[in-house]
Amino acid sequence: MPPSIQPPDLIGPGNGEKVTTLTPVYLWSSVLEAYQFEISLSKDKSMTPVIWNAVIGDTTITYPDDAPVLERDKTYYWKVRKAPCLILITEPILS
């Protein structure tokens, strides 16, 4: 059984941090063998329903202008995980 991959550490915004912008920047630590990350945002601690998510190949993202509009003075929860990696292996075609 392969060793479990540790989830990234959430760096910012921090737990309980008051964010004053409607387009916050999310930042997390890199994880060994993680080439893409999935970030999710919710109004509920259970992360249901997810109001926005994205899969990216970086450890930071700015909440996009075309995502659902965030409300001022509301609490939001976010999480990041290693995104599933799809590997495509192709065989040469002989003609």
pLDDT digits (tens, 9 = 90+) for 19-74: 899 999 999 999 888 889 999 999 999 999 999 999 999 999 999 999 999 999 89
Say how far apart CA 33 and CA 47 lie, in whole Å: 25
Local confidence band at 95 (pLDDT 50, 70, 90 cut-offs): very low
DSSP 78: E
Residue 62 structure tokens: 């700015």
Q: Quote the pLDDT of residue 48.
A: 95
This prediction's pTM: 0.82
